Amino acid sequence: MNYLSANIRGAGDPMKADHIKELKRKNNINFIAIQETQFTDSSKLKVNTFWDNSNFESESVAAMGRSGGLLNIWDPTVFSRKSSISNRFNLATIGELINGGGEINVVNVYAPHDINLKKDLWVELTSLMTTYNGAWILMGDFNCVREPCERKNSKFNSQMAESFNQFICLVALSEYTMLGCSFTHRSDDGKRFSKIDRMLVCPSFLSKWPSAVLTGLQRYRSDNRPLLLTCNDVRFGIPPFQFFNS
């Protein structure tokens, strides 16, 4: 299954929806996690505009005013949802891969800026991951960096980073090396950069897809880069083979 995570800063722009749909088509994406829909009434979200003509299922969390809003969309022929758990800052879709692929849980995250609310979110996610079985992948905008080199031209908050790293260590999450860029967020004035968008996976996910590829894609009408995790095996045809008469 291939995953796309995108903070789009408003789902009402049809050009953004077309862009996500094109990324889905080009990269054979099976699960899309969108942050900052900014829709206080999720029933008004035109979810089909983010997907192609194939079947899909979805679930969402409404925004609070102009802040937040989460949307998960997936291919039901690849992933089957069993249940979901959500609040303002995360949307967990609990399920399994079709045809015996095993249990897998996808969490869409849009973390708050406040450090105390962040700590509450880490506790909640820890509890969630110890409650349900299966592999885990957490993706989205964590509004936090892990080390000073993940910020440029902005202040590093060591207390916030320590809390984030403690959570990652406690639940044994890992990251794939990100290709395509060093930073995922750019300030509106174009001067400050940070790596706040990420995908975190548990050991069983990593062992099942050790060669998965994480790519930071180009920004489009947002200050955040979409992230693409490609887990499907890539086939390059029959390996070349030749006899040498020597």
In-domain check, residue 238: no
List, for residues 18-36, the tens digit of each pLDDT value: 999 999 999 999 999 999 9
What's the CATH code of the domain at 216? 3.60.10.10
Q: Is residue 236 part of a domain?
A: no
CA dist 192 and 187 (Å) reads: 5
State the Cα–Cα distance between residues 185 and 223, nearest whole angstrom: 6
Q: Is residue 128 one of the residues assigned to a domain?
A: yes
> Which pLDDT score is estimated for 243?
59
pLDDT of residue 236 exceeding 50? no
pLDDT value for 245: 59
The average confidence (pLDDT) of the chain is 94
Question: Does residue 239 lie in a domain region?
Answer: no
Question: Are β-strands 185-186 and 193-194 bridged in parallel, bridged antiparallel, or unpaired?
Answer: antiparallel
Query: Which residues partner with 102 through β-bridges?
Result: 97
Does the residue 18 lie in any domain?
yes
Range(s) of the domain holding residue 96? 3-230
Q: Would 244 be classed as within a structural domain?
A: no
Least confident among 67-71, 75-79, 114-118, 242-246 = 242-246
Q: How many structural domains compose the chain?
A: 1
Mean pLDDT of 218-233: 93
Q: Is the pTM of this model over 0.85?
A: yes
Query: Tens digits of per-residue pLDDT, 76-111?
Result: 999 999 999 999 999 999 999 998 889 999 999 999
In a domain, 216, yes or no: yes
Quick check: is 28 in a domain?
yes
Q: What is the pLDDT of residues 173-198, one digit of tens each?
A: 999 999 999 999 999 999 999 999 99
HEC secondary structure over the chain: CCEEEEECCCCCCHHHHHHHHHHHHHHCCCEEEEECCCCCCHHHCCHHHHCCCCCCEEEEECCECCECCEEEEECCCCEEEEEEEECCCEEEEEEEECCCCEEEEEEEEECCCCHHHHHHHHHHHHHHHHHCCCEEEEEEECCCCCCHHHEECCCCCHHHHHHHHHHHHHCCCECCCEECCCCCEECCCCCCEECCEEEEECHHHHHHCCCCEEEECCCCCCCECCEEEECCCCCCCCCCCCCCCC
